[in-house]
A and B are shown apart, each in its own frame.
Chain A
Amino acid sequence: MTIHTHQPGEHESAYDGLLVNDAHWAFGTDFEDPLAGVDTTVPDGIDAAELASYCLALGDDALVLSHRLSEWCSRAPDLEEDIALANIALDLLGQARLLLARAAAADPSVVPTLPEGSPVPPEDALAFFRDDRAFRNVPLVELPNGDFAETVCRVLVFATHRLALFERLAAHPDAVLSAVAAKGVKELTYHRDFAGRWFVVLAGGTEESRRRLEAGLARVWAHRHELGVDAEADGVLAHVLATAGVAEPDVRPVVTDGGHTEHLGRMLAEMQSVARAHPRGLW
């Protein structure tokens, strides 16, 4: 990693520091490698390409849902929920950074080639310079938000499955993936509780809140199969639905054949526009 060394008293203003090193990547999250100093050697018996592909899929799920949730900023029903959704988006963005960085370290060939001398770190190259066909996320996370009830349903189903998965991944032989998962478990617990409580509240609210909740759940449920078969998640979701007095939706699964819906391309066009307009992104 690069340490930007500043001599004491060198800068009169905090902004002066921005001008010292003109190799700053202008559009990333910050100038920190999230795996700085972490041993990223792939352990014996693990296929590096498979590990990278798996981490990309997990990272893309988090990145895409994080972006969707961030679209709620300033638009949620009230300030507390606005802040809650932004917090969940931030946690998922953090998971995405770690997982994309882990994928890039395990198999550098997954990282798109950028112009020579580009300062873009691998995690940002993966986030901003792949097109929709290269993204590995499940279509569930790329669908437009819908209303607040539908967002609650999506966070509930997604966090329930991801939490169950991360509990198991905490014992993965790759020490980096297992550490990311063990950390994620704590965050996902809060996400799932938040969505589960709102699910019960909306189900027991007004006729309109219940109608919207059931409609949102049906749309989400049609994509639930993308998250795989998971007995623990089944049990948790059945418990939430029973507590809320909501029947499991009778919907036909939407099959995307491993591809994406039209929505991902549009979302990425917005998310990636600034980075792609300035691929060397220097200031």
Chain B
Amino acid sequence: MTAWEVAATVVDPELPMLTLADLGVLREVEEDGGAVVVAITPTYSGCPAMATMRDDLVRRLQEEGYDDVQVRVALDPPWTTDWITPEGRRALAEHGISPPAVSTGATDRRGPVPIRLSPTRRAVSCPRCTSGDVALVSEFGSTACKAMYRCRACLEPFDHVKEI
């Protein structure tokens, strides 16, 4: 396996149904002779999982014979949910987490961001019963990248990966 193929099998510590590649956090894998340099980007500035991701990448690559591994941080361009792959979105939904909207254009945004004083409208459907009759509970959830919703049809709460 190439170093990219190995690195692409490492899963996110907080969303283990997703690989780092599916999450869009794995930015680059350079192979130079025996040395490998992997670039990862944090989802949010305070992402507490960066050290775990780094350790998991180093361990997996070493298991496949890549002894000289460095992991670097890539801050630019900032992570966007647009980078979550179609496979990643399917995996999220299969595990009861509502995936973010596709192509928010968040990466192209420049200039003043308008304030939104009413709840964000999203075309979200319940990952459990597929009903579109859902209510936003909070824009903040169990991890930095998720908002909390409740389904009005089946009454179950669920997480939504919020668009950034």
Contact = CB atoms under 8 A, between A and B. Distances in A.
Interface stretch (B18-26, B66-74, B93-101): B66-74
Chain B interface residue bracket vs A: 35 or more
B107 to A, nearest CB: 10
Interface stretch (B4-12, B49-57, B125-133): B49-57
Contact of B45 (A3, A7, A94, A239): A94
Contacts of A6: 55, 58-59
B41 to A, nearest CB: 9
A212 B140 CA distance: 24
A122 interface: no
Given A32-B50, A38-B75, A91-B45, 5 more contacts: A179-B76, A179-B78, A193-B120, A196-B115, A197-B118
B71 A8 contact: no
B51 A30 contact: yes
Nearest to B46: A94
Contacts of B148: 80
B32 interface: no
Interface stretch (A82-90, A127-135, A256-264, A271-279): A82-90
Residue among B74, B75, B110, B142 with max Cβ neighbours from chain A (10 Å)? B75
Interface residues of A, number: 61
Given A182-B76, A240-B117, A91 B112 contact: no
Contacts of B135: none
Interface string B129-156: 0000000011111101000100000000
Contacts of B164: 186-187, 190
Interface in A23-60: 29-38
Given A36-B71, A176-B75, A197-B117, A98 B45 contact: yes
Contact of B140 (A83, A167, A239): A83
Interface string B105-123: 0100011110111111000
A7 B79 CA distance: 31
Contact of B76 (A178, A184, A194, A243): A178
A29 B113 contact: no
A3 B140 contact: no
B88 interface: no
Contacts of B162: 190
Contact of A83 (B58, B71, B115, B141): B141
29 contacts: A1-B71, A3-B70, A3-B71, A4-B55, A4-B58, A8-B59, A30-B48, A32-B51, A32-B54, A34-B50, A36-B54, A36-B72, A37-B71, A38-B72, A84-B140, A90-B144, A94-B46, A95-B46, A175-B76, A178-B76, A179-B75, A182-B77, A183-B44, A183-B79, A186-B164, A187-B45, A190-B140, A197-B117, A197-B118
Contact of A185 (B50, B75, B113, B139): B113
Q: Which 8 A-B pairs have the closest CB atoms?
A: A37-B72, A94-B46, A94-B45, A179-B75, A179-B76, A84-B140, A90-B46, A183-B78
